[in-house]
């Protein structure tokens, strides 16, 4: 199973990041999340990145993109770099009611596939 | 009471006369008396009112899983009304403030030269801002982010209008203006405080069961009064905005944006320098602007200006859009629009059939300002009942003694102190 992002439904509320962080270390923050919002504010260009076990998944408004280690993250900007140090998404396997980010999102942006 | 689920337990005192920062603890007694946000900024205002305080506060639920928990409040004596006013600010800025490690910031006195305040990682720096004094809001945001090396920095910032202490001035949240109709931006200007820059990488603890309770409330909100509604245009239609202005807004809307943890996306990014449908990142470097104040947008449209571009000019200059519309121009505006009040008049009295009169609206705004909940959501989501608020305060702070009577007392106290 993998987490999937429908970036065109996203409104940038970012609660998914904080929900993921809560799953990872039981606090509310964004720095330990496997998800990362990336944002070029003046262009209002935004989407979500997901750190997977062996790849980096980009949910961009133009479409999805999957990057392997070492591949260039085109256009993700400086705000994207810290995700490479993050814990990989485990799809909240130990959560009875499913991934916390999926539950927290008000807009149906996130889902599991596979 | 367990404060660490809601606060970092620190108040920053910034003395601009002496250019010194100090801290004091946010005590359980202060939270018991005022809960948060405007409930505490009003108390701090009383304590420091002989030094022209400008107080920035986070609410009890700011930065938590509480739906709509995005908001902070800027409290100061309005240069327009001469009374204490509480202006909400959202996006991510208030969450960022709390996660810097400071729940409240009290700015006292005034600097003899332009400064900016840089809050990060529990640290506070008063830095020289002479390089950006005189620059517009957009240039200032870019230069501050570049100087501190982080494009995710959130800002409360002023433009030339507030530097000149115009009664038409407003402070801006990043590039996009604010709900400041009380000229609190001019208070920044009088202090020579160009900006407060925020980057917060701290965390809050979470009470057992709080996440699930908030998800349940979010689901109730999404299936309640806002169900089937979308974006700022539906709010505009509901509150009777001129059809021409709505058509203009709808024709330019690129995406609807939500503030942190808001289940209704009440901001519209409009594009006028490239096609609104363009989703690629390689387009115009500044294709448009983010509209939250629909009345400001409509007023500019009604004044015969190109509302999207006029909003950008207001944002750049740091001018309240309704004041600009009244003046019929977007530069050199000196008079306010007569909209200053204790709580921002940018928030409609009723959205999607929620309105129950002036007293109801004022109480909902007071609660929003105390709790750190988006003030628009507090009007449009009746599912956020006072009973639910009390239950979530009790749960979050492990504070069984907190009651509906206390919530009513705190809201009434904030309203009375701002009258």
Taking chain A, what is the end-to-end CA distance rounded to the nearest angstrom? 5
Instruction: Please determine, for residue B419, whether its predicted confidence score (pLDDT) is greater than 80.
Output: no
- Mean model confidence pLDDT for chain B: 97
Average pLDDT for B363-371: 98
d(CA B419, CA B417): 6
Put simply, the chain B residues between 201 and 220 with a CB less than 8 A from any chain A CB are 201-206, 211-212, 215, 218
Instruction: Look at residues B105, B126, B107, B125 and name the one whose alpha carbon lies nearest to residue B115.
Output: B126
Instruction: Please determine, for residue B41, whether its predicted confidence score (pLDDT) is greater than 80.
Output: yes
Average pLDDT for B163-172: 98
Average pLDDT for B308-315: 98
Q: Which of B99, B152, B212 sits opposite A29 (nearest CB)?
A: B99
> For position B257, what pLDDT does the model report?
98
- Mean model confidence pLDDT for chain A: 90
> For position B74, what pLDDT does the model report?
98
> For position B178, what pLDDT does the model report?
98
Element (H, E) at A11: none
Instruction: Please determine, for residue B238, whether its predicted confidence score (pLDDT) is greater than 60.
Output: yes
- As for how many domains chain A has, the answer is 1
How is residue A79 annotated by DSSP? Answer: G
Instruction: Look at residues A10, A14, A54, A83 and name the one whose alpha carbon lies nearest to residue B260.
Output: A14
Instruction: Please determine, for residue B352, whether its predicted confidence score (pLDDT) is greater than 90.
Output: yes
> For position A78, what pLDDT does the model report?
52
pLDDT digits 0-9 by tens, B120-139:
999 999 999 999 999 999 99
Contact yes or no for B203 and A11 at CB 8 A:
no
> For position A73, what pLDDT does the model report?
62
Instruction: Please determine, for residue B357, whether its predicted confidence score (pLDDT) is greater than 70.
Output: yes
Taking the CA of residue B285 and the nearest CA in chain A, the distance in Å comes to: 6
- B-chain CB neighbours of A78 within 8 Å are 150-151
Which residue range forms the structural domain that includes residue A16?
2-113
With beta carbons less than 8 A apart as the criterion, state whether B233 and B250 touch.
yes
Distance of CA B196 to the CA centre of its chain: 13
Q: Which of A39, A79, A100 sits opposite B211 (nearest CB)?
A: A100
Write down the domain spans for chain B.
222-327
| Kind of pairing between the strands at A63-67 and A110-113 | unpaired
Contact yes or no for A106 and B263 at CB 8 A:
yes
> For position B109, what pLDDT does the model report?
98
Average pLDDT for A13-23: 98
Band the pLDDT of B282: cuts 50, 70, 90. Answer: confident
Among all residues of chain A, which has the CA nearest to that of B96? A29
Average pLDDT for B103-113: 98
Average pLDDT for B217-228: 97
Q: Which of B65, B67, B202 sits opposite A29 (nearest CB)?
A: B202
Task: Mark out chain A residues that contact chain B at CB-CB < 8 A.
Answer: 8, 11-15, 18-19, 21-22, 25-29, 31, 39-45, 60-62, 75, 77-79, 97, 100, 103-104, 106-107
> For position B83, what pLDDT does the model report?
97
Element (H, E) at A109: none
Among all residues of chain B, which has the CA nearest to that of A23? B211
Among all residues of chain B, which has the CA nearest to that of A106? B263
Average pLDDT for B69-80: 98
> For position A75, what pLDDT does the model report?
57
Give the best residue of A7, A10, A13 to mutate against chain B (max B CB count within 10 A).
A13
Give the best residue of B173, B215, B278 to mutate against chain A (max A CB count within 10 A).
B215
> For position B146, what pLDDT does the model report?
97
Band the pLDDT of B298: cuts 50, 70, 90. Answer: very high
Put simply, the chain B residues between 31 and 90 with a CB less than 8 A from any chain A CB are 63-65, 67
| Count, residues in chain A | 114
Contact yes or no for A12 and B263 at CB 8 A:
no
What SS3 string covers chain B?
CCHHHCCCCEEEEEECCCCEEEEEECCHHHHHHHCCHHHHHHHHHHHHHHHCCEEEEECCCCCCCCCCCCCEEEEEECCCCCCEEEEEECCCHHHHHHHHCCCEEEEECCCCCCEEEEEECCEEEEEECCCCCCCCHHHHHHHHHHHHCCCCCEEEECCHHHHCCCCCECCEECCCCCCCCCCHHHHHHHCCEEEEEEECCCCEECCCCHHHHHHHHHHHHHCCCCCCCCHHHHHHHHCCCCHHHHHHHHHHEEEEECCCCCCCCCEEEEECCCCCCCCCCCCCCCCEEEECCHHHHHHHHHCCCCHHHHHHHHHHHCECHHHHHHHCCCCCCCCCCCCCCCECCCCCCCCCCCCCCHHHHHHHHHHHHHHCCCHHHHHHCCCCCHHHHHHHHHHHHCCCCCCHHHHHHHHHHHHHHCC
> For position B285, what pLDDT does the model report?
95
Element (H, E) at A22: helix A15-25
- A-chain CB neighbours of B279 within 8 Å are 8, 45, 61-62
> For position B379, what pLDDT does the model report?
98
Q: Which two tokens stand for residue B159?
A: 């433009």
Contact yes or no for B215 and A62 at CB 8 A:
no
Average pLDDT for B211-222: 98
Among all residues of chain A, which has the CA nearest to that of B62? A28
pLDDT digits 0-9 by tens, A34-89:
999 999 999 999 999 999 999 999 999 999 999 987 776 665 555 556 677 889 99
With beta carbons less than 8 A apart as the criterion, state whether B30 and B40 touch.
yes
> For position A72, what pLDDT does the model report?
66
């Amino acid at each position: 199973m993998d987490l999937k992002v429908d970036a065109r439904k996203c409104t940038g509320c970012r609660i998914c990041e904080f929900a993921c962080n809560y799953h990872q270390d039981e606090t509310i923050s964004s720095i330990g999340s496997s998800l990362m919002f990336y944002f070029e504010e003046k262009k209002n260009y935004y989407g979500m990145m997901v750190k997977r076990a062996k790849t980096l998944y980009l949910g961009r408004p133009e479409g999805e993109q999957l990057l392997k280690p070492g591949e260039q993250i085109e256009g993700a900007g400086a705000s994207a770099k810290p995700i490479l140090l993050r814990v990989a998404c485990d799809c909240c396997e130990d959560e009875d009611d499913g991934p916390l980010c999926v539950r927290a999102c008000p807009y149906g942006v996130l889902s599991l596939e596979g | 009471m367990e404060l660490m689920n809601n606060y970092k337990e620190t108040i920053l005192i910034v003395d601009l006369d002496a250019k010194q920062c100090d801290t004091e603890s946010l005590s359980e007694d202060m939270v018991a008396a005022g809960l948060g946000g405007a409930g505490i900024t009003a108390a701090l205002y009383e304590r420091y009112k002989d030094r022209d305080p400008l107080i920035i506060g986070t609410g009890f639920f700011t930065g938590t899983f509480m739906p709509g928990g995005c908001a902070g409040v800027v409290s100061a004596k309005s240069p327009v009304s001469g009374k204490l006013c509480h202006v909400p600010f959202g996006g991510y800025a208030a969450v960022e403030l709390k996660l810097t490690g400071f729940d409240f910031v009290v700015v006292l006195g005034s600097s003899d030269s332009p400064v900016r305040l840089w809050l990060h990682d529990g640290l506070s720096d008063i830095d020289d801002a002479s390089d950006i004094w005189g620059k517009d809001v957009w240039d200032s945001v870019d230069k501050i982010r570049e100087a501190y090396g982080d494009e995710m920095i959130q800002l409360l910032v002023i433009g030339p209008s507030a530097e000149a202490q115009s009664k038409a001035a407003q402070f801006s949240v990043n590039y996009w203006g604010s709900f400041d109709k009380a000229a609190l931006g001019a208070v920044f200007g009088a202090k020579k405080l160009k900006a407060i820059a925020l980057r917060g990488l701290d965390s809050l603890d979470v009470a057992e069961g709080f996440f699930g309770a908030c998800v349940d409330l979010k689901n109730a909100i999404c299936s309640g009064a806002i169900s089937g509604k979308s974006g700022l245009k539906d709010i505009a239609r509901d509150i009777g905005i001129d059809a021409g202005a709505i058509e203009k807004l709808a024709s330019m809307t690129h995406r609807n944006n939500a503030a942190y943890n808001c289940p209704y996306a009440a901001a519209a990014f409009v594009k006028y320098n490239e096609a609104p449908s363009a989703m690629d990142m390689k387009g115009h470097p500044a294709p448009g602007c983010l509209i939250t104040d629909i009345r400001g947008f409509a007023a500019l449209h009604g004044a015969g200006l190109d509302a999207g571009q006029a909003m950008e000019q207001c944002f750049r200059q740091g001018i309240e859009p309704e004041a600009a519309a009244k003046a019929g121009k977007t530069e050199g505006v000196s008079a306010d629009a007569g909209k200053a009040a204790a709580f921002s008049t940018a928030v409609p009295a009723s959205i999607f059939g929620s309105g129950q009169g002036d007293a109801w609206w004022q109480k909902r705004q007071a609660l929003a300002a105390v709790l750190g909940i988006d003030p628009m959501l507090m009007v449009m989501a009746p599912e956020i009942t006072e009973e639910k608020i009390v239950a979530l305060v009790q749960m979050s702070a492990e504070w069984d003694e907190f009651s509906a009577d206390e919530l009513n007392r705190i809201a009434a106290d904030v309203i009375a102190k701002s009258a």
